Amino acid sequence: MTDEIKVGLVGYGFASKTFHAPLLMADSGMALTAISSSDAAKVRADWPQVEVESSAASLFAREDIDLVVIPTPNDTHYDLASAALAAGKHVVIDKPFTVTLAEAESLAEKAAQANKLLSVFHNRRWDADFLTVRDLLQRGDLGRVAHFESHFDRYRPEVKARWRETDTPGGGIWYDLGPHLIDQALVLFGLPRDIWLDQACQRDGAQVDDYFHAVLRYDRLRVILHAGSLMAAPAPRFSVHGTHGSYVKHGLDPQEDMLKRGDRLPTPEWGEDHRHGLHTVGKVRDASARPELREVHTRAGDYPAYYAGIRRAIRGEGANPVPVDEALAVMRVLEAGRRSAGSGAAEPVA
């Protein structure tokens, strides 16, 4: 393998076009070499220098491809990743890892046997607000956290004709946004003891869940993960309450919107979120004192850090930015949540 890591991208749908292709192109050590697509004109309109293969199989057969990226419908992840690993490629899969824990565990074993890197694109570890929350907790600014609430609220009243909103394996908002919020919670707090999940189809014509409310239970800590599609007035993105005070932050990380409108890295203000959070400092000795309010500057988001980490890991210069065991932990919580939604009771996270 040359110093430049040659990348093959499977498919050119929303995730490939919006996230993966621009982020790969922004990394000087990566070379987006080929994309498999049935619509070559669509690819060439955006990336005229990139070769187009008619199928994933022909992409995997190329000897010049080192890394394969798979941002395809969730129920195709397992078969495509298995084929890419069998072809001797390193593999990145968009979230969720697969549609079942058993499939994810099988891929982990195949990657280990092939001695190839396998990683899941949990890009929201590099959200601006999440990086800020992580800093706050690492510094102990809020003391011992007792209540952590994470919302991904959107107003999308119309059901669209797309696979994510059909009753297929891996469809629905729990498998779409759930992995983002679960992964962030596990990075901060580790695996919970159990999970209680409520799901609903709230929009007219909804075929699959477009709302969820999950409670992850630890010994004393409670983590609330919530997402909905009819939230014209969204709740705070993060609400964190601890023994030393509270932190509240509104607004979603700006990087997805930047990528959607065609911003290309590097830009001088990439990932900057000017909606800062508020730290309410707890008063222990004088409960009647007026609360002290401190603005918490939001760090810049950094989605490019993911592929920079993948590059270093493939070269043996650093760790996998999302190791397989951490991606498997997300799958364990996803599946325990599904069991809970079915039983109506809290289910253990094994």
- Residues 311-318: what's their mean pLDDT? 97
User: Which segments of the chain belong to CATH 3.30.360.10?
Assistant: 124-302+332-348
pLDDT tens-digit series, residues 56-112: 999 999 999 999 999 999 999 999 999 999 999 999 999 999 999 999 999 999 999
pLDDT at position 265 over 90 = no
If pLDDT is split at 50, 70 and 90, which confidence band does 283 have?
low
Q: 124-302+332-348 is classed in which CATH architecture? A: 2-Layer Sandwich (3.30)
Instruction: Estimate the crossing angle of helix 101-114 against helix 324-343, to 10 degrees.
Output: 170
Which amino acid is it at 280?
T
Q: Are 121 and 92 in contact (CB under 8 A)?
A: yes
- Give pLDDT, residue 159: 94
Nearest CA-CA partner of 19 in 321, 273, 304, 322 = 304
Strands 51-53 vs 30-36: parallel, antiparallel or unpaired: parallel
What DSSP designation does 300 have?
Answer: P
If pLDDT is split at 50, 70 and 90, which confidence band does 184 have?
very high
Distance from the Cα of residue 39 to its chain's centroid: 27
Nearest CA-CA partner of 214 in 167, 175, 253 = 175
pLDDT tens-digit series, residues 115-169: 999 999 999 999 999 999 999 999 999 999 999 999 999 999 999 988 889 999 9
Which amino acid is it at 334?
L
Domain 5-121 in CATH 3.40.50.2300? The answer is no
Stated as kind and residue range, the H or E segment containing 288 is none
Q: How far apart are the first and last CA of the chain?
A: 39
- Give pLDDT, residue 287: 62
Q: Which residue has the higher pLDDT, 284 or 341?
A: 341
For CA atoms 59, 37, 43, 24, the dihedral sign is negative
Residue keyed to tokens 């993960």:
225
For CA atoms 212, 129, 318, 307, the dihedral sign is positive
Ranking 179-183, 186-190, 203-207, 263-267 by mean pLDDT, the lowest is 263-267
- Give pLDDT, residue 228: 97
pLDDT tens-digit series, residues 237-257: 999 999 999 999 999 999 999
Give the count of alpha carbons within 13 A of 261, CB side only.
6
Nearest CA-CA partner of 33 in 81, 71, 65, 80 = 65
Strands 222-228 vs 145-153: parallel, antiparallel or unpaired: parallel
Q: Enumerate residues 6+ apart whose C-beta is below 8 A from 73.
A: 163, 168, 170
pLDDT tens-digit series, residues 211-239: 999 999 999 999 999 999 999 999 999 99
If pLDDT is split at 50, 70 and 90, which confidence band does 1 have?
very low
- Residues 200-205: what's their mean pLDDT? 96
For a pLDDT cut of 90, what percent of the chain falls above it? 92
- Give pLDDT, residue 162: 87
